[in-house]
Structure 1
Amino acid sequence: MSHVVVVGGGPGGLSAALFTAKNGLETSLFDQGETALRFAHLLNYLGIDSVDGEAFLHAAREQADAVGVHRHDERVVEVEDDGEEFVVVTETGTYAADYLVLATGQARELAAQLRCELDHDGTVLVDRNGRTSVEDVYAVGWLTRKDKVQAVISAGDGAAAALDVLSTVERAPFHDFDTPRDVTVGRRLGRRDDSTARNA
């Protein structure tokens, strides 16, 4: 099974982890709660009237946990591409990943370690799916935008990157589209088993 590592627990990182874990990929998220969203109050996030940033993050973390995201309160200090997989080094351990999603806000050190190409404004250069110049490395949110940073945009970036990872794994376009029928009573998200997951 492919292993996805997401570094950063803001809206972009949590969204990416939610989509990959929900659709059956082993997903680890490294989050020390340092996202700028903890200082915000959301009044412009589609579908939410008004919510404190910390309360939003709490709900988003619970949502990610419910679909099997393995969250780690560890700081990632180094990432390396050894030619076969990515080696993610924290202050307490080492992890391997097939796909890496960077959602580190304005901190670009990990992207620099991997030699991701930068745009003219110093942000990480990505395509519309969040792909960087390094194969199987994605960057989302503030890392890729100097301006126009909003929680809802970052969440969309994370979702786009996750769907691209899923499409790469499946070798076909992957669509995550749930219907009321997919939701099981008592489940918050309606996580699907392999037998009901759809790849259209």
Structure 2
Amino acid sequence: MRDVCIVGGGVAGLAASIFTARAGLDTLVVDGGESILARNASLENYPGYPDGIDARRYLQLSREQARNAGATFELGHVTRIEAIDDTDLEQGFILETDGGEPLEARRVIAASWSDSEYLVPLDVGRLQRGSKHYVSVDDGGRTAVDGIYAAGRLANEPHQSIVAAGHGAKVGLAVIHDSDANFYHDWVAPEGYFTGRDRDVPPGCEEIDDDERLERDEQARARMLEAFSEPLDEQPTMHPSVAETDTEN
């Protein structure tokens, strides 16, 4: 059984997976390959990219970062989630998919903006507004069902990527807290930051010397140069209604 299964491989789901995986939780992302961000032509309001970044390149790098943190991915769609034992939700949940074997996880983060029908059996508190459904959550993304969380647009957060990423990270932290993982706040400090004050290095933190810092910086720069060395062949995904019109014509 996984510690956490994240339904949706968009910005919110990826951010959550980076946090939970770095905290040592066994994290699986079920990715339908349909992130709304893939419809974006150029992502230009995300901090750290002064001239913007191709949205598909951003998603590729975010998936790579999640994998580097220890998260694993499965391509597919979750069609139904139900509790293993309705009388004891700590036993976890069964997730049925459209192709593979059922999955089991102690906690589930729903981060699939365009689809939430799979949550209906759990009565998590879906709210309909026009043609869209949202899930009612608390400040940590917790729903009315213990062990089920929602992140990003599905939790009625604004659609901008930086907001979705921030909310996904916040929900990931809530999952970490609720799981009793031995985790502090994910901080890489210079050598002596804690030990120089006669303190133990807290869980989830580390101290690195200057040689290690320079080595990590060199590795990061090399990876970014490689990632941006060639233009992407991928094109933005058109809105379904436009695609349908083009097909009809």
| Greater relative CO (CA pairs within 8 A, separation 6+) | 1
What is the match of residue 96 of structure 2? Answer: 89
Q: Percent of aligned positions with the same letter in both sequences?
A: 32
For residues 35-79 of structure 1, give each alpha carbon's deviation from its aligned partner in whole angstroms, at most 9, with x where no partner exists: 110111211012222111100000001101111111111221211
Cα shift readout 1:147-181 (whole Å, capped 9, x = no counterpart): 73111111111111111111112278842333355
Question: Could you say if the C-alpha distance between residues 68 and 172 of structure 1 is closer, same or farther in structure 2, counting changes exceeding 3 Å?
Answer: closer
Give the structure with the larger helix fraction.
2
Using the TM superposition, give the Cα deviation of residue 100 of structure 1 relative to its aligned residue in structure 2, in angstroms. 0.2
1:124 equivalent in structure 2: 135
Superposition pairs of residues 6-155 of structure 1, within 5 angstroms: 6-40=6-40, 41-49=42-50, 50-83=52-85, 84-90=91-97, 91-119=99-127, 121=129, 122-145=133-156, 148-155=158-165
Contact 1:2 1:169 in 2 (8 A): no
Q: Does the 8 A contact of 1:29 with 1:70 survive in 2? A: yes
CA distance in 2, matches of 1:110, 1:15: 22
Structure 1 residue 108: Cα displacement: 1.9
Aligned to 1:195: none
CA distance in 2, matches of 1:171, 1:58: 28
Q: Distance in 1 between matches of 2:184 and 2:139?
A: 16
TM-score (norm 1): 0.84
Change (3 A) 1:154 1:54: same
Q: 1:68–1:111: structure 2 CA closer, same or farther, 3 Å change rule?
A: same
Tell me the TM-score normalised to structure 2 length.
0.69
Give the residue type in structure 1 aligned to 2:103: Y
Q: Distance in 2 between matches of 1:160 and 1:27?
A: 16
Cα distance, 1:157–1:163 mapped onto 2, change above 3 Å: same
Aligned to 1:194: none
| Structure 1: gaps spanning 5 or more residues | 189-200
Moved over 6 A (4+): none
CA contact (8 A) 1:166 1:174 kept: no
Between the aligned partners of 2:58 and 2:179, the Cα distance in structure 1 is 30
Structure 2 counterpart SS, 1:170 = coil
Change (3 A) 1:180 1:110: farther
Root mean square deviation, CA, Å: 2.2
- For the residue of structure 1 that corresponds to 2:140, the secondary structure is coil
Q: Which amino acid in 1 is paired with 2:31?
A: D
SS at match of 1:3: strand
Distance 2:115 2:190 in 1: 39
- 2:242 match: none
State the SS of the aligned residue for 2:139: coil
